[in-house]
Amino acid sequence: MKTIRTTSAMADWSRRLHREGVTIGFVPTMGALHEGHRALIRAARLACDAVVVSIFVNPTQFGPTEDLAKYPRRFRLDRALCAKEGVDAIFAPTAAAMYPAGFQTIVAVPPLARRWEGEARPHHFQGVSTVVTKLLSLVQPDTTWFGQKDFQQAALVHQLAKDLNLPGALRVHPTVRERDGLALSSRNVYLSAQQREAAPVLYRALQAGAAVIREGERRGARIQRVMARVAATERAVKAEYLAVCDPSSLEPVRTVQREAILLGAIRIGTIRLLDNLPVTIRAKS
């Protein structure tokens, strides 16, 4: 397994593989790899001849008061996981390699970035859009995998890739969860034992929202209230948003039609956790 540190070496490696007719699967990450990342890597491994995993804690997607400095970095463990999963190359550039002196460009998708995570983290999505544009341009993948866990990010990347004709197909992998429903996240390591116990309330709130939709409730405000009530059962948890949205525009819906996405973010102490749950209403036969 190769570790690639520079942008030019990454581009050269991909060009060489493409010349040889090898298909490239790509999994972009910020490292501190867990079972969620592993699932994406395995999907890439099954679908493509070669797999590249990028490990880059992208500074431009963190706000000035966020956890960039203390974001978990575990390169040796990540490397071992990648080697075990048969990854062909890790692309782990430095921030200076990705953003050399004189770097000026910003890529943004304002409509999809406006609400939810974009509201809570004002520059987050332009950091994500810019780095994803760079990564896809460098890696030139045939297919790239994203996790559904970050639903708004995946929606935004789809739009970005379509608008800018970025290379390759995109696939979204379902969220991998702990047994109690908590979505795996590199940030879960910040949770104390007590906070860890409270954290699954986010998924329970989303499930309660999905359950009332299945029982026939269609009014967005009512569904939202049900989710808020569940989240409020944990005193240590503050719900930032629990929303019933259109899965394409991510705008809140007054009335659920055929499909909805339930989006949620909670804060436990200083830790923010995200999750979501898609809901499809099946026509009665």
Per annotation, catalytic residue among 34, 37, 123, 173: 37
Select from 80-88, 98-106, 118-126, 177-185 the region that touches ligand AMP (CB under 6 A). Answer: 177-185
- Kindly give, in sequence order, each residue whose CB lies less than 8 Å from that of residue 20, ignoring residues fewer than 6 positions away: none
Structural Rg of the chain based on CA atoms:
19
We find the least distance from the C-beta atom of residue 48 to ligand AMP, in angstroms, to be 16
Q: How many residues form the binding site for ligand AMP (CB under 6 A)?
A: 17
We find the least distance from the C-beta atom of residue 91 to ligand AMP, in angstroms, to be 13
Q: State the CB neighbour count (10 A cutoff) for residue 239.
A: 18
Report the side by side order of strands in the sheet with 237-245.
237-245, 259-268, 271-280
Classified as helix, coil or strand, 279 is strand
Binding mask 179-198 for ligand AMP (x = CB under 6 A): ----xxxx------------
Select from 17-25, 34-42, 224-232, 268-276 the region that touches ligand AMP (CB under 6 A). Answer: 34-42
Using a 10 angstrom Cβ sphere, with 0-12 exposed, 13-18 middle and 19 or more buried, the burial of residue 42 is middle
- Kindly give, in sequence order, each residue whose CB lies less than 8 Å from that of residue 222, ignoring residues fewer than 6 positions away: 212
- Both structure tokens of 202: 């986010």
We find the least distance from the C-beta atom of residue 257 to ligand AMP, in angstroms, to be 26
We find the least distance from the C-beta atom of residue 45 to ligand AMP, in angstroms, to be 15
Select from 37-45, 116-124, 163-171, 253-261 the region that touches ligand AMP (CB under 6 A). Answer: 37-45
- Rounded to whole angstroms, the Cα distance separating 237 from 218 reads 26
Q: For ligand AMP, which residue of 26, 37, 191, 199 counts as binding (CB under 6 A)?
A: 37
Select from 100-108, 113-121, 172-180, 277-285 the region that touches ligand AMP (CB under 6 A). Answer: 172-180
- Both structure tokens of 38: 């592993």
Active site residue 37: yes
Told to check if 118 binds ligand AMP by CB under 6 A, we report no
The site for ligand AMP (CB under 6 A) is made up of 29-30, 36-37, 39-40, 146-147, 149-150, 173, 175-176, 183-186
Active-site amino acid positions: 37
